[in-house]
Amino acid sequence: MAQIIKESVPEDQISPKVVILKIASAKDAVLRNWKLILIFCLVGYGIGYALDIYLKKPDKYQATILFNLGGGGSPSGQGLGDVAGLLGLSSTPDANIFTGENFFHFVTSRPVVERALMKEVQVGNKKMLLANFYIDSSGILEHEWENLPKYQKFHFTKNDPKKFSLTEQMALNDVVDGTRVRTDVYQPDRKSSFILIQVSMEDPLLAELWANTLMETVEEVYTENLTSKTRRTLTLLKNRADSLSRILGGTENRLARQMDYSTIITDPMGKVQVNKLQRSSEFVQQLYVEAMRNVEAMKVSLVREAPLFTIIEPVKRPVDRQADEAKRAQIGLLIGLILAFAFVYFKGVYASIMDDTLV
């Protein structure tokens, strides 16, 4: 008689039969409690949907400008470096604070942002300060200033922050902070030198105007700082040329009077004075010509030092629209399903424990 050998399964392993039985038991539990599972899912979905409606954010409009910043050329010209050296100024711009990551912080720095906000922009058929357009179109009245009645009809009446009252300065602080939060500056690809300005606003026109105005202001302030030494040198050279021009004019007038006087009086000293004034006039004229030559050379240097902002991709029209995804309803449905399964499982465990207790 053949002896039947039964293979026992180790305690640390689960047999396929047990797995199948567990799956069948779970299926039966789901089918028995499908109404309960459905209620959990509907409640979770309803809560998420209500949160989507209550916490819904307005659509955002994104304006971007991709540009490349090229450095200014080194100044050239015969004797130009010597002229700057004699005046105690270097003709080489010091731009270390505007290189690398520093430039990204410079773009959204307070002086740059304030200057951009105080510029006039064309909105429809009228011009207005960009800061006032931001107040009207950014949602600041409904959010940051919702509980501040004094700001509900507030507008800036002048464009010089130095003359602002305390109330105007506090309002400007809020506007500056709001625009800085909505503005990102970064390098989209580390392998390239391109820089991206990205603006997200509640109004498409505001997003476009802010991106373009900020770009224009950055170029202005950057150029002013980069060429400040050359501009100071140019001012000094102009003042020197003007001074020589006045001296030359006075010398020529005295020479003309002395020449008229010498034709009437035959005094040998008159001829000597005429020759002396002629030499002085020629000398001052040479200095004046040299000064004007240096002024023109410094103007050329100023143009060469100015950085080159090359717009690779201007603001696209219409600007991109970003809607709130509102995924809280889907998340609520998933949470409700998980809680339903957990409830069914613990309900089954509790029922099993009670059955064992009764036995």
Tens digit of each residue's pLDDT (9 = 90 or more) over 220-262: 888 887 777 777 777 787 788 777 778 777 777 766 766 665 5
What are the DSSP E strand ranges found in 49-193?
60-70, 120-123, 126-129, 183-186
| pLDDT band (50, 70, 90) for residue 36 | confident
Confidence at residue 346, expressed as pLDDT on a 0 to 100 scale: 78
Highest mean pLDDT pick, 22-26, 96-100, 182-186, 288-292: 182-186
Rounded-to-integer distance, Cα 268 and Cα 287, Å: 29
Q: Where are the alpha helices (DSSP H) in 227-327?
A: 228-264, 268-305
pLDDT at 283: 76
Here the tokens at position 312 are 């690779």
Lowest model confidence (mean pLDDT) among 4-18, 59-73, 279-293: 4-18
Q: Which helix (H) or strand (E) holds 194?
A: strand 194-201
Residue 118 scores a pLDDT above 90: yes
12-28: average pLDDT = 64
* Percent of the chain surpassing pLDDT 90: 18
pLDDT of residue 176: 93
Q: What is the pTM of this model?
A: 0.63
Phi/psi-derived region of residue 100, left when phi > 0, alpha when psi is between -120 and 50, beta in every other case? left
**pLDDT reading at 154 higher than 50:** yes
60 pLDDT above the threshold of 70? yes
Indicate the burial class of 9 (C-beta count within 10 angstroms; 0-12, 13-18, 19 or more): exposed
Lowest mean pLDDT among 10-24, 81-95, 140-154: 81-95
Q: CB-based contacts of 252: which residues, under 8 Å, 6+ apart?
A: 281
CA distance 256 to 249: 11
SS3 of 217, please?
helix
Residue range 82-95: average pLDDT?
45
Contact 126, 185 (CB under 8 A): no
* Among 92, 94, 84, CA closest to 294: 84
Contacts 24+ apart (CB under 8 A), 182-187: 182/138, 182/210, 183/107, 183/108, 183/210, 183/214, 185/104, 185/107, 185/108, 186/104, 187/104
pLDDT exceeds 90 at position 212: yes
Q: Hey, what domains does the chain have and what are their CATH numbers?
A: 16-56+325-358 (no CATH), 60-77+93-227+307-322 (no CATH), 231-305 (1.20.58)
